[in-house]
Structure 1
Amino acid sequence: MSFDLNHKYWISTSKEISQLIKKQNRLKKIEPPEQKSVSFKIFSELYILYVELVNKLTFIYLNTFQVQKRDVVRKLVESATQQLVLLKDELKEMELSEYIYMDKLLIARKLTPYDLMIWRSPQFLYRRPLDIQNILSENKLYMNDQEKEQSDALSWSKVSDAVALIQAHERARSARVYKSNINYDKKFLEVKQRAKVNYRFTFKPNQPMSIPVKRTIFTADFIKTDESCKELRDKIDNLTGHVTENSTDDSNEIRNRAASLIQSWWRAYKTKKIYKIKKQFKRELLGIRKIRQLKRPNQFANSVLEMYKNEQKKKKLDEEFKQLIMDERTRLLQVRSPWMMEDISDHIRGWFKEFYTATENFHPYPDPVKNGTVLVVIDETMSIGDFQESLTKKPLSKEEKQKLKSKLRMEKRKIKAKIKNQKMKEAKRRKKLRDLGIFDVGYTLSTSKPIENIEETMKQFAIDWRNVDEYLNKNHDPIKAWVTEKELDVIHHELRELVDEYMRVEYELLREALAADNNQPYKALKVKKKKKKKGRKKKKVVDPTGDRTLSSLYHELKDASVIEEISHKDFNEFIADFNFIADDTRDEDNLTTVGAAKGDIKMVVQESMLGMSEFDIDKPKSILLVGPLNSGKKLLCNIIASELDAVFINLSPEKVCNYSKDMNMFIHIVMKVAREFQPAILFIEEAHRVFYKKVPSEEKYMSPTLLAPYIQKKILKPIKKTDKIVLLGTTSLPWLAKPLLKKTFQKILLIPKCDYGTCFLLWLDLMTENAPDALENYAYSALAKIMKAYNSGDTSNSIANTLSVSRKMRLKAEALNPEEFLEYFLTEMDPPLFPLEDKIMDKFKKWFGGSNKFEKMRRAAMALKMAKQKKK
């Protein structure tokens, strides 16, 4: 991306932010809308605006190289994403569902549900530290110079070993071929060794081979006759001996006619092919012919190489900025620090003199606990009049001091209680409104901290950058004046603490001299220093693996196949369509009456992944994907791990049963590796097995419930908000588990049944991918209508097995019959595979309704509504 484009993009985005702030300020003053649909519309409009804003800001952040400006854009991205999540939570509470539908507003802005996809993998990825990245991959992109030299030496030694091994095998192979060639001819049976001969290639007619070559004897008989080749050759020789002039003319005429016929057919074929290509090109150019192939949106505008170059450039600029700070600090300490100390001490002496000339006494020296003489600079000490009054007042007794302290405490408590009561009243007021279906939009926006952060950041940017012409800084140089100003402030505070210690000695000498002049007893003032915060003494956790390196722990889990390498997948490979009719089929309470489609789950998963990015955003600690077999649960887990570039730690019962003797040590190693190598995913396949009500006899050998007692205390509890670790589980039989399964997983998602749109896209994409030319105008709609009851995994397996290599070769000669796909399900599968029954899906929905909080709220609201109708 060019500098000019990025600069213009930032200007337009900053204008949009200012317009959004104005709009929010107007909405803060409105009264709570009585109709729920109005509140939903306001929050939906804001949500769409914030989605566009986050996408633009992340793109700008990725292409901004100036260090000081990048910090500003980062604050905006983080705050905008946090507000986006808050708005989504509000919409979920209104919708009483994990899935939000706002199609009418999207149509007004000429957008599609695909435009609401927030996650962009390169822009949101959390970058690991350099030493951790080197353990995960031996890629030189992440190494420093010394590590590169070591890896180069190792790689060269490995290459030389590999070359030597290849040469040895090649010499052995050539020797075997040479021996077999000699042994083939009986003349050379006695020859065991040949002398080396310098060989140069020359061609002479009828020259025999210098080394006999073993020829392959083919068993296939291409000439369907009982006559041998020798007999046929003799027969031809006999015929040629009796050829007459007429027969030669006839044979020549036959040959010419055959050649012209072949040429005419070939020219017709080539002409038709060229005409077809030109016709297709013309139709595509005019927009008449549409290629029936699923066009996936390109998520990554920048290539991987360009992204890597940008990161290296940012890294270099960051290092130069740090070096600039160090150099400027060193220069200021060398040049300015003596004069600064002198100025500070002169200022404090002037302060002494000012009070002594006015009151013939000295103001109490500010304590370090109150930042010392910084109070003098910011004019927060007593004025001369106040100080004179304090001298005339009688000193308070101990009882009076205690009364004053208790009075101050009571006032503080009253203020806290007042604030608490106000919050309680506000919470009760909002709850009453929500029970009536009224949402206070103004209160929600006015109390939002992310909105405050955006407003403050933009105000500060307008003040700081008003005299800076960004367009002239195409080399992305830092603004040195700001660095000098900031370092001067830091050095000033550091030197003032040092000067305060010396000036306090001078202050006590002055007080002592004053006391001697006035014949009064001298008593040094007590110094109140900053107390170190005394927290609760935490027990030192003994690390049983403290003597081991992270690399050894990581490779131990990897060698045991607990850490698995997964194939790279992205969200485009989860082929599914959105529900486009849910927004149009709302009931009188403005709630959706149609369930979610399979594509809607992608948005919920992406929203949960935002907390795993480099920005500080709330995220669920644990996610459970529920659905029937072959519905795409494992694929989604694979996609999440790939998009996050996460370490995939498999904690399924098959892996855990090998560590039954020392589970505490195993869990400790797993959590240590996950925390150090984050982002990390702790994966449990078929998680209901860990919480079995009754363990099946065929699974008792691996003790599937072995991990259950450790999940809450040892896995979920140690995960902090800032940790990029998530427990991810799948289940196809959740009703076999105890209720503890619902409590363990914070977010539970049910993968819906395949609908027509998802099934159509699946057939279209997979079949055109296998045979794009032959199946371009196939009846995908009919296939999707008939096969939509099958799960996506079953459909993909059917296509892969039916469209084999041999079948694809016969497509032009033998058209593909839709019954062939049914044959896979009914005849090739043992037992035959039939569509998923509605009873089973109802069972999933019933279990999901008792585990998801929004489903519980919706059922409670529907029950209340039915009760009111019965009363009427």
Structure 2
Amino acid sequence: TYNQLWADTQSELTQLLAAELPPEPLRPEKDRVVFFQRLAVLYVRYLQVFRDLEIAYDQVVHPQKRVVIRANLDGVMGRLLELKNEMVEKEFSEYHYMDDVLHDLKLTPEDLEIPIPRHFISECSKDVKERKEMVAKIIKTMEITEGSQLAMDKEMTQEVAVKIIQVAERRRQGQLRAKLNQESKNMNRMYRNKDPQIADPELAAVCIQKVWKGYVQRKRTKIEREQEEILLGMAIDPKYYSTLPSEITAQENEAQTRITQQEHEEDYQKCIVAITNQLRDVEGHDIGQTMKDQIRQWFFECDATGTFPDYPDDEEGGSALIFAEKSPQQEEEAGLKMLPSAFLADLVIGNKMFDYWKNRDESKNYNQKHEVELIKEEKRKEIEAEIRLQVDEQMRQELAEWKLSVDKEKVGKAKANAKKKKGSKSGKKKKKEKDLTADTLESLCQELAEQGILKQPENVKMKNFLDYSYLGTTLRQNDIEPMPSLSDVRQVLSLYAILPLSQFVHEKAPLIKAILLAGPAGVGKKMLVHAICQETGANLFDLSPLNTIGKYPGKSGVTMMLHVVFKVARLLQPSVIWIGDAEKMFYKKVPKEEKELDPKRLKKDLPKSLKLIKGEDQVLIIGTTNDPLSADIKGLCKMYSKIILIPRPDYGSRILWKQLIQKHGGKLTPALNLSSLSKISDGYTPGHIVKVIQTVITKRRILQQAKRPLTAVEFVEPLAKIDPVFQEEEEALKQSWYAKTPLGKKRIKAATGQDEEEASAKSAKGKDTKK
């Protein structure tokens, strides 16, 4: 099944590569809308390939096939990020609405979901797992120590003790008073209902029958209504609420697949070591001799021309560079065209590697073990690379002796030029970051945990964000900028924060160092930070202004704090550095009540530390703010390369009432009108909704649900006590602030046509200068 899925996916990938790498280059597109449509179609198709490859990689057990699938999976992930980056640059928006593309390709909104690859956490290296366990152990120890210390340090005054006794006594007296009142009411009711006359037995029987028949009929009607809803597909059959035997079997099969994958991988690695040693001993001498003969032939050809070129350095590829084919350069044309890709070449290679398995008969390899001959072919190339280094060293010496014998006078000049070249390559020495700490990693982690900077992320997932925008394209076609839904936010963060934390993708994909999440309080910004850490297995560092108060005082203390945080973050990568209330660091004017807190103490040093993050560092800074208007927008935009606007939930997103009520122990019945709740909660954030649900669904209310089901009216009163986020506030954030960000300015220019006018003016200037 999964081999067939892989084959079908590779066929689709082949078509995509043929479209992206045609025999003749595509002409630049003049129309921006047409060009974006081409990008959107490519993006959606690559996303489908990504989803299928992720499933195939998770279930295939053949170790060598998994290597090929993984290479293609990483390449497709990287290409997705490149296309996303290109769509942002062409449409000047972080959010894109492709419901029209989904309609044309006959896909559903669920097909746009970005799957989180399961191997991010399951295939961590042994060192990474050990470091994560060490950090978790340190944080847990610190929490236990702090809890016991607080309990010991907490002293109870006489006033507090008296108050506790009074509260307990008043509670006891109140319970007794309520019990006596209830008994009194029961006695009064009994005497009031007592009829001195003897009741008619026939009337009593009719009364009992009436009550019983009404109860039975209501119960029968309820069952019939439920069966009808199940038949029409409006409700789920109760038998599906419990785990079916087939589901249990599927889960057991998946667990067995993981075990089989691990066993096959161990056998594969042992075989690689054995075959490598065997090839090095048996074929190593012949490979080296063949290389020397080829290089000597090159010497003879150069000698015939009368000039000896410089021997390529090892960094450039050594003698392999001599025999490499060079591709011709192509002239560039003006207009909109695809940016150069760092992943297409890898995808082409991965697609060719699939050809080995495409028509291979594996009827005799039922257990899907590794292929020995394929290992030999792969390891020969590695052994050739090892031997080439030794051969190059010998042949450089031989070339030098040859040159000396041909022309002794040019030897001195050649050596001088060689020294100059070596000196020019080194250039200016880069300043290395000074290591201010010589402590062990464990001691540094313990220090950060004691200071409350290194934290354990909460157990939340990205799938908790729901909903999809179905009218985005239609609104944009009518010059109305739609507000993104929670689903759009989730997809953008999966592309910007989760997929790039993969090692292979991170090194080649467009580098994103810092992301700012801006939106009203309660929309889930902090939850998203913790979800990113959980999905990638990243460690969480909290550098929020309010969290660093009084820690590492003084200018030297700030330098030391940032040095320790970034050093540990690199050693424990992937890592996320969270800056809550990011606007405080860039205040236009610090409020009087916060001047003593010094919220701007990291303003100068943190951007400097940000520059130290390189392409190979899996470190991401995430800032969150609910009041960006109070900050200097230039400082924020300089610090954060990506600014994600998170709006208040729309009607579709507010359906999360259902999930949250069930999560807190509430039962959904026809008496609870969720549609009305979603309608009246316009302007309220998920944080507000959670607060209201916690107020209504108490332990006592959960016990009463059997006799008194939940209703929408119960949630109205606590909801009315909370101030919502009004549409005017959201529009002010969108128009007054986000429109002034670099991307917002570009979008306004593009909408008014200024961008095209500037481009045409630049091209006209270029023609004038050529003339």
Alignment TM-score, normalising by the size of structure 2: 0.74
2:66 paired residue among 70, 73, 77: 70
Q: Do the aligned residues in 2 keep the contact of 1:825 with 1:833 (CA within 8 Å)?
A: yes
2:742 paired residue among 846, 853, 863: 853
Q: 1:219 to 1:125 in 2, by over 3 A?
A: closer
1:621 paired residue among 502, 513, 533: 513
Q: Do the aligned residues in 1 keep the contact of 2:521 with 2:626 (CA within 8 Å)?
A: yes
Q: Do the aligned residues in 2 keep the contact of 1:292 with 1:776 (CA within 8 Å)?
A: no
Please tell me the root mean square deviation across aligned C-alpha atoms, in Å: 4.9
Counterparts of residues 133-152 of structure 1 (less than 5 Å): 133-137=129-133
Q: Provide the aligned length of Structure 1 versus Structure 2.
A: 671
Cα displacement string for residues 106-165 of structure 1 (whole angstroms, at most 9, x for unaligned residues): 12333233321113252444854323422422799x9xxxxxxxxxxxxxxxxxxxxxxx
- Counterpart check, 1:380 vs 2:324: no
Cα displacement string for residues 393-438 of structure 1 (whole angstroms, at most 9, x for unaligned residues): xx99xxxxxxxxxxxxxxxxxxx9x979x45xx3xx22xxxxxxxx
Cα displacement string for residues 808-847 of structure 1 (whole angstroms, at most 9, x for unaligned residues): 4445655756454332244xxxxx5333234422331134
- Counterpart check, 1:574 vs 2:462: no
Counterparts of residues 664-683 of structure 1 (less than 5 Å): 664-683=559-578
Q: 1:118 to 1:381 in 2, by over 3 A?
A: same
Name whichever of 325-334 and 21-30 sits farther off: 21-30
2:686 paired residue among 792, 810, 823: 792
In 2, Cα distance between the equivalents of 1:335 and 1:292?
66
In 1, Cα distance between the equivalents of 2:734 and 2:237?
35
Q: Do the aligned residues in 2 keep the contact of 1:682 with 1:726 (CA within 8 Å)?
A: yes
Q: Do the aligned residues in 1 keep the contact of 2:683 with 2:727 (CA within 8 Å)?
A: no
Q: Which residue of 2 aligns with 1:842?
A: 731
- Counterpart check, 1:290 vs 2:235: yes
Q: Do the aligned residues in 1 keep the contact of 2:674 with 2:712 (CA within 8 Å)?
A: no
In structure 1, the residue corresponding to 2:521 is in which secondary structure? Answer: coil
Q: Which residue of 1 aligns with 2:525?
A: 633
Q: Which residue of 2 aligns with 1:725?
A: 619
Q: Which residue of 2 aligns with 1:171?
A: none
Letter of the structure 1 residue corresponding to residue 372 of structure 2: K
Superposition deviation, residue 602 in structure 1: 1.5
Superposition deviation, residue 488 in structure 1: 4.5
Q: Do the aligned residues in 1 keep the contact of 2:671 with 2:709 (CA within 8 Å)?
A: no
Whose Rg is larger? 1
Q: 1:35 to 1:499 in 2, by over 3 A?
A: closer
Superposition deviation, residue 100 in structure 1: 0.9
In 1, Cα distance between the equivalents of 2:502 and 2:756?
45
In 1, Cα distance between the equivalents of 2:756 and 2:347?
45
Superposition deviation, residue 769 in structure 1: 4.7
Alignment TM-score, normalising by the size of structure 1: 0.66
In 2, Cα distance between the equivalents of 1:302 and 1:34?
56
Gaps of 5+ in 2: 138-175, 186-197, 309-325, 758-771
Q: Do the aligned residues in 2 keep the contact of 1:126 with 1:679 (CA within 8 Å)?
A: no
Letter of the structure 2 residue corresponding to residue 788 of structure 1: D
Q: Do the aligned residues in 2 keep the contact of 1:689 with 1:737 (CA within 8 Å)?
A: yes
- Counterpart check, 1:99 vs 2:84: no
In structure 1, the residue corresponding to 2:517 is in which secondary structure? Answer: strand
1:469 paired residue among 361, 371, 374: 361
In 1, Cα distance between the equivalents of 2:249 and 2:436?
45
- Counterpart check, 1:608 vs 2:478: no
Superposition deviation, residue 625 in structure 1: 0.9
Cα displacement string for residues 306-356 of structure 1 (whole angstroms, at most 9, x for unaligned residues): 777656654554443333233223334444556777xx3xx8xxxxxxxxx
Q: 1:679 to 1:863 in 2, by over 3 A?
A: same
Name whichever of 490-499 and 65-74 sits farther off: 490-499
- Counterpart check, 1:594 vs 2:541: no
In structure 2, the residue corresponding to 1:444 is in which secondary structure? Answer: coil
Q: Which residue of 2 aligns with 1:201?
A: none
Gaps of 5+ in 1: 143-216, 227-249, 348-370, 397-415, 431-438, 827-831
Superposition deviation, residue 551 in structure 1: 1.7
In structure 1, the residue corresponding to 2:298 is in which secondary structure? Answer: coil
In 2, Cα distance between the equivalents of 1:852 and 1:713?
21
Q: Do the aligned residues in 2 keep the contact of 1:125 with 1:613 (CA within 8 Å)?
A: no
- Counterpart check, 1:457 vs 2:375: no
Superposition deviation, residue 729 in structure 1: 1.0
Letter of the structure 2 residue corresponding to residue 698 of structure 1: E
Q: 1:453 to 1:779 in 2, by over 3 A?
A: same
Letter of the structure 2 residue corresponding to residue 481 of structure 1: E
Q: 1:448 to 1:817 in 2, by over 3 A?
A: closer
Letter of the structure 2 residue corresponding to residue 329 of structure 1: T
Superposition deviation, residue 495 in structure 1: 5.9
Q: 1:389 to 1:557 in 2, by over 3 A?
A: closer
Q: 1:10 to 1:639 in 2, by over 3 A?
A: same
Counterparts of residues 623-662 of structure 1 (less than 5 Å): 623-657=515-549, 658-661=551-554, 662=557
Q: 1:268 to 1:340 in 2, by over 3 A?
A: same
Letter of the structure 1 residue corresponding to residue 442 of structure 2: S
Q: Which residue of 2 aligns with 1:149?
A: none
In 2, Cα distance between the equivalents of 1:508 and 1:450?
40
Q: Do the aligned residues in 1 keep the contact of 2:41 with 2:101 (CA within 8 Å)?
A: yes
1:736 paired residue among 630, 638, 642: 630
Q: Which residue of 2 aligns with 1:113?
A: 109
In 1, Cα distance between the equivalents of 2:76 and 2:535?
21
Letter of the structure 2 residue corresponding to residue 8 of structure 1: Q
- Counterpart check, 1:87 vs 2:83: yes
Q: 1:553 to 1:302 in 2, by over 3 A?
A: farther
2:660 paired residue among 758, 766, 780: 766
Q: 1:122 to 1:524 in 2, by over 3 A?
A: same
Cα displacement string for residues 605-643 of structure 1 (whole angstroms, at most 9, x for unaligned residues): 111121012441334211111112222222222222222
- Counterpart check, 1:553 vs 2:444: yes
Superposition deviation, residue 221 in structure 1: 7.0
In 2, Cα distance between the equivalents of 1:35 and 1:17?
27
In 2, Cα distance between the equivalents of 1:822 and 1:338?
84
Q: Do the aligned residues in 2 keep the contact of 1:660 with 1:706 (CA within 8 Å)?
A: no
Percent identity of equivalent pairs: 26
Q: 1:488 to 1:852 in 2, by over 3 A?
A: same
Q: 1:836 to 1:498 in 2, by over 3 A?
A: closer
In 1, Cα distance between the equivalents of 2:230 and 2:45?
35
Q: Do the aligned residues in 2 keep the contact of 1:734 with 1:847 (CA within 8 Å)?
A: no
In 2, Cα distance between the equivalents of 1:490 and 1:703?
57
In 2, Cα distance between the equivalents of 1:711 and 1:303?
49
Letter of the structure 2 residue corresponding to residue 736 of structure 1: S
Q: 1:500 to 1:736 in 2, by over 3 A?
A: closer
Letter of the structure 2 residue corresponding to residue 375 of structure 1: I
Cα displacement string for residues 432-471 of structure 1 (whole angstroms, at most 9, x for unaligned residues): xxxxxxx4xxx428x5443343233323442x44674345
In 1, Cα distance between the equivalents of 2:226 and 2:530?
39
Q: 1:511 to 1:292 in 2, by over 3 A?
A: closer
- Counterpart check, 1:712 vs 2:607: yes
Q: 1:489 to 1:16 in 2, by over 3 A?
A: closer
In structure 2, the residue corresponding to 1:749 is in which secondary structure? Answer: strand
Letter of the structure 2 residue corresponding to residue 846 of structure 1: Q
